[in-house]
Amino acid sequence: MADEALFQFLHNELIQYVNNAESGENENGRCVSKLENIGFRVGQGLIERFTKDTARFKDELDVMKFICKDFWTCVFKKQIDNLRTNHQGIYVLQDNKFRLLTQLSAGKQYLEHSPKYLAFTCGLVRGGLYNLGVKSIVTAEVSVMPACKFQVMIQKM
């Protein structure tokens, strides 16, 4: 089934829509946070459906591994390429070929637009973690398309 393509098209429309709706000053920030919130809702729902038959997680790292492997494979068809942590609540997830960026030109031309294409996913991860009992702040950055890094900062509850 090719519904993966369907999701990508929908994701693009979502960005387009939110971007147009928030065209005022300070637009980029609001656009990103709106997309992030939408992603958050989806992440919450998705993780509940996904983990209902799985074993209990050992610890935070176990949760993060689950996000990097199972969750990522499911949503983006590949695993996170590199997971790093400082063991003090900061995790960096690196994806060398992030699915939602592969449709964009690899040069520097659209680099400034990349936050919009990552905001939904940041929310998705935050929502997923939130419903697994891990409160966090997720940010993303791109230096060279289509590779990107997601930084997860765990907030102690």
Partner 1 sequence: MSRQSNRTTDNKKMNSELFTLTYGALVTQLCKDYENDEEVNKQLDKMGYNIGVRLIEDFLARSSVGRCHDFRETADVIAKVAFKMYLGITPSVTNWSPAGDEFSLILESNPLVDFVELPDNHNTLIYSNLLCGVLRGALEMVVQMAVDVRFAQDTLRGDSVTEIRMKFIKRIEENLPAGDE
Closest CA to 99 of 16, 11, 19: 11
CB of 25 to partner 1, least distance (A): 18
Quick one: DSSP state of residue 98? -
**Shortest separation between residue 153's beta carbon and partner 1, angstroms:** 24
Q: How far is CA 139 from the centre of its chain?
A: 8
Query: Considering the complex, what minimum distance in angstroms separates the CB of residue 139 from partner 1?
Result: 20
d(CA 120, CA 31): 10
Helical H runs in 53-109?
A: 60-66, 72-76
Site string for partner 1, 39-78 (x = CB under 8 A): x-xx--xx--xx--xxx----------x---x--xxx---
Tell me, by CB under 8 A, how many residues bind partner 1: 33
CA 21 to chain centre: 22
Identify the residue among 6, 61, 106, 137 touching partner 1 (CB under 8 A).
6
**What 3-state class would DSSP assign to 10?**
helix
Nearer to partner 1, 36 or 149 (CB): 36
The binding site for partner 1 (CB under 8 A) comprises: 1-7, 9-11, 13-14, 16-18, 21, 34, 38-39, 41-42, 45-46, 49-50, 53-55, 66, 70, 73-75
